[in-house]
Chains A and B, each alone.
Chain A
Amino acid sequence: MASQPINVLGRISWMVTSVISLLLVWWGAAFVIQSRYLPSPQEVFSVLAIELASGELLFHVAMTLMRVAASFTVAMVIGSAIGIAMGKQAWADRLFDGWLMFFLNLPALVTIVLCFIWFGLTEVATVLAVAINKIPNVAVTLREGTRALDPVYDQLAKAYRFSRWKALRHVLLPQLAPYFAAAARSGLALVWKIVLVVELLGRSNGVGFQIHLYFQLFDVAAILAYAISFIVVVQLIETFILQPWQQSVVRWRA
């Protein structure tokens, strides 16, 4: 236990070193190339400050985050239900296995385009397109988790006459918690990237829309400013929500 703070400090100092070295490489490359297509870190951060001050950045990041949250929730709920059903029921596994193969191999771009054609350039189409891309990954993870369930705990629930709700809440879901956490962490990383593509193709706001706008203007500094700001937001969610949650669901293993 005594070495834990040192490890945390060590990790933080390595992370800071890593970020600083990346900035130095970037700054060095920008200095050598001297092109408006590779702005220096200072130029990017000054654009970021201007966008932040104007409120534009916060608005577009908020719009993107809202879509990420909606798509992520839909994908986790539906993917988990399908994955648990496939892990528990042989007929469901056989029925949905072909579907999984199809949707896992379906390019994200095709789903996005088809959703916009079928449902119009709407928020529903956006959320649906992103969720459809993520659902198969969640289902696969939860199917594996359900297959790994220990049947003796089901017997325990039955022997002590637990209600279905009690068995679900206290026996099934805690066993699946590490799989939920794994699906959530990989899900967030995938979902936000797809949301940006969807915004680029069919929305009039959001980080993806802004990147598309600045792409047309060849404004690389603004593109990088929006990209970096969203990376920071996602990393904060990962560090302060998902990682602590994942650690909390397996704390009994310590």
Chain B
Amino acid sequence: MTALKIAIRHKPFARSDGELNAIENIEIEIAANEFVAVLGPSGCGKTTMLQIAAGLDDDYTGSVEYAAGLRDKMAYVFQSPTLLPWRTVRRNIELVFSNPQDHADTIASLLESVGLAGSEDIYPLQLSMGMQRRASLARAFVLRPQLLLMDEPFVSLDETLATRLRALLKTMLADNPASVLFVTHDWREALSLADRLIFLSPGPARITGELAVTLSPQQRSNPADLQSFRDANATIFRSGET
């Protein structure tokens, strides 16, 4: 069953020297509970595509279709943690609910599972970047999303922390299965997480290839296996590089 279908014919991008076409003829379908990673070089239009998918940008030609009721079960994880700095961690997470008092237990247990128990009443600027990212993940998962849109959520973290957060994401998805559209420029990250990869060209963004990831959970955490998989599919990986 298709959870999300994105069809972008044309996405204009205004520049001082005229209008460019940022995205051209992209069609992506994501099945229920499928994890799709979109790989492409920085600035190729991945974030723009994700924003269109989330309904944050409506200046485009094309369509975005969700499975029935899925739009209300969607969560978005931004490139930066995007926590409101004037609200504590708990109050940031509460904000996604209309009646947060009805979800106090869910919030507490999720904060516990992301390792933020005891930090609920701290303001985001007093937290490390890793803790802010975990709070951002908690905010997304507290809604029990069935569709998760993630925009390079672990970018600019050191590898140890990023690996830990990717493991946390896998655990959370095991507890709460969801369709995921995950944007990244890191092929190792994409291979360690996704069921399927979609490669985008640099601007205007076009799909240059797709690849099912046939790695076992053990292979996904082994850098040598990731490298071998990439080498075996070198042509398609190169298509999405600058």
Known contacts A153-B82, A174-B86; is-contact A161 B51 (Cβ 8 Å): no
Number of A-B pairs, beta carbon distance below 8 Å: 51
Chain A hits for B96, CB < 8 A: 160
CB-CB under 8 A from B72, the residues of chain A are 161
Q: Pick the residue among B55, B84, B85, B125 that contacts A158 (CB under 8 A).
A: B55
Kindly provide the distance from the CB of B215 to the nearest chain A CB, expressed in whole angstroms. Answer: 31
* A159 with B84, Cβ < 8 A, contacts A152-B78, A252-B123 known: no
Residue picked from B55, B85, B124, B125, most chain A C-beta under 10 Å: B85
Q: What B residues does A171 contact at CB under 8 A? A: 84
Which of A170, A249, A253, A254 lies in contact with B84, CB distance below 8 A?
A170
- Residues in A141-160 with C-beta less than 8 Å from chain B: 152-153, 155-156, 158-160
With A and B bound together, what is the CA distance between A252 and B91 in angstroms? 13
Q: Is residue B182 within 8 Å, beta carbon to beta carbon, of the partner chain?
A: no
CA distance A118 to B91 in the complex (A): 51
In the bound complex, how far is the Cα of B91 from the Cα of A171, in angstroms? Answer: 12
Complex: chain B residue closest to A157, CB-CB: B95
- What's the nearest-Cβ distance from chain B to residue A150, in Å? 9
Supposing A160-B96, A161-B72 touch, asked if A155 and B78 sit within 8 A by C-beta, the answer is yes
Shortest beta-carbon distance, B162 to chain A, in Å? 21
Q: A152–B125 contact, CB under 8 A?
A: no
Evaluate contact between B95 and A170: CB separation under 8 angstroms: yes
Q: How large is the interface on A (under 10, 10 to 19, 20 to 34, 35 or more residues)?
A: 10 to 19
Q: Which residues of B contact A160 (CB under 8 A)?
A: 75-76, 95-96, 139, 143
Q: Are A155 and B125 neighbours in the complex by a CB distance under 8 Å?
A: no
CB contact under 8 A between A159 and B80, given known A170-B95, A253-B125: no
Q: Is the CB of A152 within 8 A of B55?
A: no
Contact status B125-A252, CB under 8 Å:
yes
* Residue B131 is within 8 A (CB to CB) of chain A in the complex: no
Q: Is B1 an interface residue (CB 8 A)?
A: no
A64 vs B145: C-alpha distance when bound (angstroms): 57
CB proximity of A167 to chain B, nearest CB, Å: 10
A159 engages B95 (CB within 8 Å)? no
Neighbouring B residues of A177 by C-beta, 8 Å: 86
Q: Does B14 contact A (CB under 8 A)?
A: no
Known pairs A155-B51, A155-B56, A160-B95; A174 contacts B76 (CB<8 A): no
Verify A159–B125 contact, CB threshold 8 A: no
B87 interfacial contact with A, CB 8 Å: yes
- The complex places the Cα of A174 from the Cα of B100 at a distance, in Å, of 19
Residues of A within 8 A of B139 (CB): 160
Q: Are A156 and B125 in touch, CB under 8 angstroms? A: no
Chain A nearest CB from B82 CB (Å) reads 5
A160→B75 CA distance, assembly (Å): 7
- Chain A residues with Cβ below 8 Å from B51 are 155
Query: For residue B7, which residues in chain A have a CB less than 8 angstroms away from its CB?
Result: none
Q: How far is the CA of A171 from the CA of B86 in the complex (A)?
A: 9
B-side interface residues toward A, CB under 8 Å?
51, 54-56, 72, 74-76, 78, 80, 82, 84-87, 95-96, 123-125, 139, 143, 149
Offer 30 A-B interface pairs, CB within 8 angstroms, sorted by A: A152-B78, A152-B82, A153-B82, A153-B84, A155-B82, A156-B76, A156-B84, A158-B54, A158-B56, A159-B54, A159-B55, A159-B74, A159-B76, A159-B78, A159-B149, A160-B75, A160-B76, A160-B95, A160-B96, A160-B139, A160-B143, A162-B95, A166-B95, A174-B86, A249-B86, A252-B85, A252-B124, A253-B85, A253-B125, A254-B123
Closest A-B pairs by Cβ, 3 of them: A159-B76, A252-B123, A174-B86
With A155-B51, A160-B95, A177-B86 given, name 18 new contacts (CB 8 A).
A152-B78, A155-B56, A155-B78, A155-B82, A156-B76, A158-B55, A158-B56, A159-B54, A159-B74, A159-B75, A159-B78, A160-B139, A174-B86, A252-B85, A252-B86, A252-B87, A252-B124, A252-B125
